[in-house]
């Protein structure tokens, strides 16, 4: 839905006559958050798995009017949380026209706004600021300066003839430019400690001081920040006086279960659309991808101090879809359904998202393969009943089934025809008679039986042959 147009009020006099009243930004956010809570709506949208953990803590902090720091490992939606807070700002806010720091027409702060209101009086022009204009963001880096955040003298303005003592020579930094709004700092510990000191007044006295000038700008800013846990980051730390000034520290986390991980993956993944190919991902394949992420967070061979981001599952899901689409394009099939054999394509996207922490000689690809096999086994056990597979195993006493990521779906249908004991559980798992769906379900059941030590598996290049242990 498109935002409503700004009010037509154009001067200070019209604004005063309308009855509009100023209020601090935290009060504005508090009221809008309270309305959403009372209506049974989440205070921020699009966050899965935080309903009973992070969001209640966030609601308390917003209602308390606190500045907030989100503490968590990479890939835990900290940036999204901070950006989502902009939706709690009013749709439009009146500001003095031309003001760099969004001055309140009733209580102007900057020299420019004070002079304009004094000279124009009730005819002082006003403009309307949207939430996007009132939200500022900065990724903290070691080279971030006080000038970036607070401000500095503009030599061009001095060259124009103004005195150095003139407040109009100042070039405001990001924090003053977010006056009457929300300012966020990503990865706060990466700020040099002397720069962090410059933020102390912003959080406590609510003003900024620029160099040696006798200029104090009383700001109305809500400050939010993100940080990784201090016990593993070696890049820096949050100085104690600054941390003490944040009203709330909210701990984020990874999805607590596979079902939540699947929801996050499906929400965030953006598989490429390919003309002529329709991709249908079975729920059990998405579950395998999510389980892989969950297992990686428990593996002693994966560096847990650096975290296993939810981006791992997203990237793996997109890669899985791409592998299935690639097969369909090569075979001329109109539909692609990811199979277990496609999971070998996840090694590059997995290794790009995790840091391995192992002292043995096992290769990186083999470590990923172990995680994939365990994920397949876990999903197989949760999806298929062993009691249904006795006949399927017996049917392979005198034969075998070949699978591979380059075999057409029709080959799987032909392999199932003389094996009703295998065909029944495959059809139940597939939930469809489409050849592509049957092919995917066949691979999961056969690989599950192999990982359960009920079938043998011989790999030949890109294909694999399953047969009974008796043969």
Are 239 and 278 within one domain? no
DSSP structure class, residue 19:
T
Are 264 and 241 within one domain? no
Q: pLDDT digits over 224-253, tens only?
A: 999 988 544 455 688 889 989 999 999 999
Q: Please report, for residues 189, 199, 209, 356, the alpha-carbon distance to residue 192 in angstroms, rounded to integers and kept in the order given.
A: 8, 11, 18, 29
Are 276 and 158 within one domain? no
* Domain extent at residue 68: 12-251
Give the pair of three-digit tokens for residue 204: 């406590």
For the segment 24-40, the average pLDDT, to the nearest whole number, is 97
Measured CA to CA, the distance from residue 33 to residue 333 in angstroms comes to: 50
Across 150-154, 432-436, 437-441, least confident range: 150-154
Are 291 and 204 within one domain? no
Are 212 and 278 within one domain? no
DSSP structure class, residue 170:
E
DSSP string covering 62-105, please? HHHT--EEEE--TTSSHHHHHHHGGGGS-S-EEEETT-TT---S
The last residue of a domain, from among 251, 278, 308: 251
pLDDT at 104 over 60: yes
Are 221 and 265 within one domain? no
Other Cβ atoms less than 10 A from the Cβ of 427: the count is 16
Measured CA to CA, the distance from residue 358 to residue 350 in angstroms comes to: 16
Kindly state the percentage of the chain with pLDDT values over 70: 92
Q: Say how many domains are in the chain.
A: 2
Domain assignment present for residue 421? The answer is: yes
Domain assignment present for residue 389? The answer is: yes
Strands 455-460 and 463-468: antiparallel
pLDDT at 282 over 90: yes
């Amino acid at each position: 839905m498109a935002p409503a147009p700004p009010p037509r009020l154009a001067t200070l006099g019209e604004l005063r006559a309308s009855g509009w009243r100023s209020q601090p930004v935290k009060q504005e956010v508090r009221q809008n958050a309270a309305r959403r809570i009372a209506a049974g709506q989440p205070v921020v949208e699009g966050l899965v798995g935080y309903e009973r953990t992070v969001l209640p803590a966030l609601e308390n902090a917003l209602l308390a009017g606190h500045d907030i720091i989100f503490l968590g490992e990479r890939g835990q939606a900290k940036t999204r949380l901070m950006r989502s807070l902009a939706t709690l700002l009013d749709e439009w806010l009146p500001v003095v026209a031309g003001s760099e720091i969004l001055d309140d027409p009733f209580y102007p702060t900057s020299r420019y706004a004070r002079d304009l209101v004094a000279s124009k009086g009730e005819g002082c022009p006003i403009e309307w600021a949207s939430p996007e204009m009132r939200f500022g963001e900065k990724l903290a880096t070691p080279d971030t300066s006080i000038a970036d955040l607070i401000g500095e003298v503009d030599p061009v303005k001095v060259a124009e003839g103004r005195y150095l003592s003139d407040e109009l020579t100042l070039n405001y930094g990001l924090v003053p430019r977010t006056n009457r709004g929300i300012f966020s700092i990503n990865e706060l510990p990466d700020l040099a400690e002397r720069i962090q000191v410059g933020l102390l007044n912003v959080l406590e006295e609510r003003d900024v001081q620029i160099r040696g000038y006798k200029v104090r700008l009383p700001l109305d800013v809500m400050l939010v920040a993100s940080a990784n846990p201090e016990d593993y980051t070696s890049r820096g730390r949050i100085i104690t006086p600054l941390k003490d000034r944040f009203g709330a520290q909210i701990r984020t986390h990874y999805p607590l279960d596979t079902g939540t991980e699947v929801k996050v993956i499906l929400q965030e993944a953006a598989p490429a659309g390919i003309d002529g190919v329709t991709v249908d991902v079975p729920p059990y394949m998405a579950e395998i991808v999510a389980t892989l992420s969950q297992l990686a967070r428990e593996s002693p061979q994966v560096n847990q101090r650096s975290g296993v981001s939810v981006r791992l599952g997203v990237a793996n899901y997109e890669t899985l879809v791409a592998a299935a689409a690639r097969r369909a394009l090569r075979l001329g099939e109109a539909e692609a359904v990811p199979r277990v054999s496609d999971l070998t394509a996840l090694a590059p996207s997995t290794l790009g998202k995790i840091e391995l922490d192992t002292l043995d000689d096992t290769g990186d690809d083999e470590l990923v393969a172990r995680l994939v096999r365990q994920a397949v086994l876990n999903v197989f056990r949760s999806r298929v009943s062993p009691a249904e597979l006795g006949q399927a195993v017996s049917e392979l006493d005198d034969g075998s089934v070949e699978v591979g990521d380059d075999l057409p779906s029709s080959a799987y249908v032909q392999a199932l025809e003389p094996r009703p004991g295998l065909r029944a559980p495959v059809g139940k798992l597939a939930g469809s008679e489409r050849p592509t769906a049957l092919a995917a379900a066949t691979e999961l059941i056969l690989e599950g039986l192999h990982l359960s030590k009920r079938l043998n598996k011989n790999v030949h290049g890109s294909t694999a042959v399953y047969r009974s242990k008796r043969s």
